[in-house]
Every structure is written in structure tokens, then in C-alpha cells.
Amino acid sequence: MRALIQRISRGSVTVDQRIVADEVGIGLMIFLGVGHEDNQEKARILAKKIANLRIFGDHEGKMNLSIQDIQGQAIVVSQFTLYADTKKGNRPSFIDAANPEKADQLVNYFADQLRSFGIPTQQGEFAAHMMVSLVNDGPVTIWIEN
């Protein structure tokens, strides 16, 4: 699994002018890609890592607090393009991305795992053309692959 995490001060997701993830305040926008070899165990480990990732400022301004510590919110956006292979030519190949059925199941499982840590979590709409709006706070953007 691959996750591109952005610390945000606000974010939302719309599909066809319909809000699918309401505007959230301080928290994380998590773009999640699922590969062929991924499974629930990898999703659980990744969710735990992100839930405990200390990337929010403490009273001294140091990155020392997790999303749980600040009682932040998360939006999970499925993004198969995180598995783009651009080694050959100019058109990306997505051959390493999981099939849609597997990816959908694991994205939902991942979001449920975040919720199990007490993190209010919304999701984009799987396989839809989404308009993602966010304000990256910092900016802080972190790539995690497991």
C-alpha cells in the first residue's frame, strides 16, 4: 500500500457537485493506493502508523503530536495513480495497481481501521472522478509505503 499524507487545515471531496466528504478542519488528507500484494494486515499496520504519526505541532511548535492527540479528522481518497509506473515512455502504466474489487475492499477496511482508533474518517467515492479540495498546512506531505 502507498499513502500520500497531507496535513491539512481544511479539506473536502465532491463528485458531480455533490459533497461526499464534508469540509473537515485540522487533520489529514490521505491519498491511498492499493497494489496487488496488499491485504488487510498491511492496511491495519498502515492505519496504525498513520494514526500515531507525530506530524502536528505541540505547544513549542515541534512536530510531536498525532492526529489522535489533536482530535483531528481524516479524509481517505482512493488513488490508484499512486501506482503509476513512468519508467518507459510518457504514458504511465498502472499494471501494479490492484484490481478495483480488491482495492475498494481494502480502502474501506483501511478507513474502518482509522475509525477504530477514534479518528473521525470520511472517504471519497471509489472509482469516481473526484474534486479534492484541501489546504495543506505547513506544507507537510509525507509518503509511506508498506
pLDDT digit string (tens) for 86-117? Answer: 999 999 999 999 999 999 999 999 999 999 99
C-alpha Rg value of the chain to the nearest Å: 15
Pick from 30, 134, 129, 127: nearest CA to 74: 30
Three cell numbers written together for 52 = 500515531
b/e burial code for range 70-102 (CB count within 10 A of at least 16 → b) = eebbbbbbbbbebbeeeeeeeeeeeeebbeeee
Indicate the average pLDDT of the chain: 97
Q: Are 4 and 145 spatial neighbours (Cβ–Cβ below 8 Å)?
A: no
pLDDT at position 28 is: 98
Q: In the CATH hierarchy, which fold is given to the domain comprising 2-145?
A: D-tyrosyl-trna(Tyr) Deacylase; Chain: A; (3.50.80)
pLDDT at position 131 is: 97
pLDDT at position 124 is: 96
Three cell numbers written together for 116 = 477504530
Residues with active-site annotation = 79-81
Residue extents of the structural domains in the chain: 2-145
pLDDT at position 69 is: 98
Q: ω before 92 within 30° of 0 (cis)?
A: no
pLDDT at position 84 is: 96
Q: Are 67 and 5 spatial neighbours (Cβ–Cβ below 8 Å)?
A: no
Kind and range of the H or E run holding 39: none
pLDDT (tens digit, 9 = 90+) per residue, 113-140? Answer: 999 999 999 999 999 999 999 999 999 9
40-52 vs 100-116: helix crossing angle, rounded to 10: 40
